[in-house]
Amino acid sequence: MLNRVYCEILGVPATADSRQVKTAYRALVRRYHPDLSAPEDRSANQLRMMQINQAYEQLTLQLRGLPIHRPIQQTTAPAAQTPDSREMGAHSDPAYAYYKQGFISYSEGVGGMLARGYLKLSADQRGFERTLMALRCFHRAHGYFQRVVSEYPDSIWARDAGYRLHRIERFNVIYRRIQKNLQDRLARAEHEHPAGSAKSQRESSAESNQSAIVDEQ
């Protein structure tokens, strides 16, 4: 059986074969590729495509009988989420409810890897998972903030929501680069050091990740 979370991202059953996985992947690429998206959807679809690419890559590996990086929680995140009654709480201002949920997810994404102590990520499973977790948080936050800006442009929360959308777009570039660094080093470490990554591999990954952050700030 294929990994359930990755299958849900591509919309295929856990019993899917390689042809079904590839067909689903191609359909999603045509639907969500940033270059084919409307300007207002481009940022959200960039985040969505990273998840789609990751799911396709990992399911392809699993179908070949190779080990995969198993997600530690649900990976899907709709581009525009609707808070339920508990999230809305006693607030009569829906713009604030969306902004609040966006801010929570945004803070989780920033804290996921940029908080003190996590700048020097090693090329290991933990670093890989933290990158994916941050991307999921930013994807959720983008949906909430986008809703504030588009549906409640006169709200007092709209200006800050727009600012954080801009920040998410910048973080998007950073995390894509970090994720690629981690993927490359994980693959290299598996070939060169089957028993585990050497110290030099960890230091190299930390330097590359820190450089990616500095370059974009």
Which pLDDT belongs to residue 44?
74
Per-domain residue ranges for the chain? 1-73, 77-217
pLDDT tens-digit readout, 37-63:
788 777 777 777 777 877 888 888 888
**DSSP conformation letters of 132-171:** HHHHHHHHHHHHHHHHHHHH-TTSTTHHHHHHHHHHHHHH
Q: State the pLDDT at residue 79.
A: 40
The answer to whether 137 and 168 are in contact (CB under 8 A) is: no
User: Is the model's pTM score more than 0.85?
Assistant: no
Regions of the chain where pLDDT drops below 50: 72-90, 115-123, 195-217
122-153: pLDDT as tens digits:
445 566 666 677 777 888 888 899 889 989 99
Q: Does the domain at residues 1-73 carry the CATH identifier 3.40.980.10?
A: no
